[in-house]
Amino acid sequence: MSVKKKAFKISLIPGDGIGPEVTAAARKVIAEAGVVVDWEIVPAGAGALDTHDTTLPDETIESVRKNKVALKGPLTTPIGKGFSSVNVGLRKALDLYSNIRPVRSSLGISYHHTPIDLVIFRENTEDLYAGLEQDVAPGVAQSLKIITERASTRIAKSAFEWAHQNKRQTVHAVHKANIMKKSDGLFLQSVRKVAAEYPDLTYKEIIVDNCAMQLVMHPEQFDVMVLGNLYGDIISDLCAGLVGGLGVVPGANIGDDVAVFESVHGSAPDIAGKGVANPLATILSANMMLRYLGLHKEADRIQAAIVLFLSERQHLTPDMGGHATTDEMVDALIKKIQLLR
């Protein structure tokens, strides 16, 4: 007699551009791993403007708040004009203060001779991304960098607690306190207080520009990194470049009781609908979601299948140097999952 599996209620934001294609791919992989999901599909982004007159409808916020977990496709953000970032709006509305990006060479195409396995914890709610800008005079614009003890402390707590639970060794705080002595100085003071609560971990500090150079030259020295919003955004993309690009790096935005999982690449409108989008980053983000839900067995199988799939260097999409379509890549990955049952 078969036992009916528990169905998880999860919000799904398909997103713009290639978003619907890559989230559909992730759903196929999740189902193949034996996870039953009742998806609640809700709109956001440029596509939501036509039907809801807003890029972030209230129903979307309420769905994620109710279900506690969401999978999200990439959303379009205009550059220099138009509507503000929906990603930032979603994080602020749900207080998703911790952006987590694991970067592993075993899950990508490493451009470095040494293995890379680091995790970035980026503060997600303030800094220059607070969006406090104004024109103070003709030809002069001003942006305000907001750093608070509360936000700095809780992102530090997230980083150190994760490092402790996952038996990591070192946490680096990345800063520019030699120049921004008040704002980045407060960030460092807050992180140091948290570091003192974790004597089992080695705590180090590094200036952001030196950090960028060291990551390119000697990335193996980094284990867990905690950064403010702007530095975290830039450094996490740099790290993605070391292992094959944003197409193979997952991401999560986590608050106290709500989590949104998403790939960190753009919506790629130039290839939307052509069937050649790389779904791996979204699949890896969905796999982070499974772990968050406690489905470690299923997540382990998917991760092992991805490593096996990538090791063969076949059925890759054009951005990874291949000629496969999205569906062909997903079908090949699903066959690996089936092999590992």
Catalytic residues: 129, 176, 209, 233
In the listed set 194, 217, 242, which residue is the last one of a domain according to the structure?
A: 242
In the listed set 209, 242, 275, which residue is the last one of a domain according to the structure?
A: 242
The count of C-alpha atoms lying within 13 angstroms of the C-alpha of 174, restricted to the half-sphere facing its C-beta, is 28
Tokens 């039953």 belong to: 36
91 near 155, Cβ under 8 Å? Answer: no
Q: Are residues 236 and 252 in the same domain?
A: no
Note down the domain range covering 282. 1-103+246-341
* H or E element that contains 44: none
Q: Are residues 98 and 65 in the same domain?
A: yes
Q: Are residues 222 and 137 in the same domain?
A: yes
Q: Are residues 81 and 180 in the same domain?
A: no
Which stretches does DSSP call E strand in the chain?
7-13, 36-41, 69-72, 98-104, 117-123, 133-137, 140-143, 170-175, 202-207, 224-227, 252-254, 259-262
d(CA 37, CA 24): 13
State the pLDDT at residue 60: 95
Q: Are residues 140 and 117 in the same domain?
A: yes
Q: Total structural domains in the chain?
A: 2
In the listed set 207, 242, 277, which residue is the last one of a domain according to the structure?
A: 242
Q: Are residues 140 and 208 in the same domain?
A: yes
Structure token pair of residue 4: 């009916």
Q: Are residues 117 and 208 in the same domain?
A: yes
223 near 90, Cβ under 8 Å? Answer: no
CATH code of residue 144: 3.40.718.10
Residue 9 CB neighbours (<10 A): 13
Q: Are residues 195 and 298 in the same domain?
A: no
d(CA 284, CA 302): 9
Q: Are residues 177 and 278 in the same domain?
A: no
Whole-angstrom distance between the N-terminal and C-terminal Cα of the chain?
A: 20
Q: Are residues 189 and 260 in the same domain?
A: no
pTM, full prediction: 0.91
Q: What is the DSSP letter of 84?
A: P
d(CA 305, CA 310): 9
State which amino acid sits at residue 202.
T
> Any idea what the Cα angle at residue 283 is, between residues 19 and 305, rounded to 5°?
150
| Tens-digit pLDDT string for the chain (341 aa) | 455 678 899 999 999 999 999 999 999 999 999 999 999 999 998 888 888 888 899 999 999 999 999 999 998 765 444 456 788 889 989 999 999 999 998 766 666 678 899 999 999 999 998 889 999 999 999 999 999 999 999 999 999 999 999 999 999 999 999 999 999 999 999 999 999 999 999 999 999 999 999 999 999 999 999 999 999 999 999 999 999 888 889 999 999 999 999 998 889 999 999 999 999 999 999 999 999 999 999 999 999 999 999 988 899 999 988 999 999 999 999 999 999 87
d(CA 25, CA 27): 5
Q: Are residues 3 and 117 in the same domain?
A: no
Q: What is the DSSP letter of 15?
A: -
State the pLDDT at residue 28: 98
183-239 pLDDT, tens digit per residue, is 999 999 999 999 999 999 999 999 999 999 999 999 999 999 999 999 999 999 999
Structure token pair of residue 301: 């199988």
Q: Are residues 318 and 230 in the same domain?
A: no
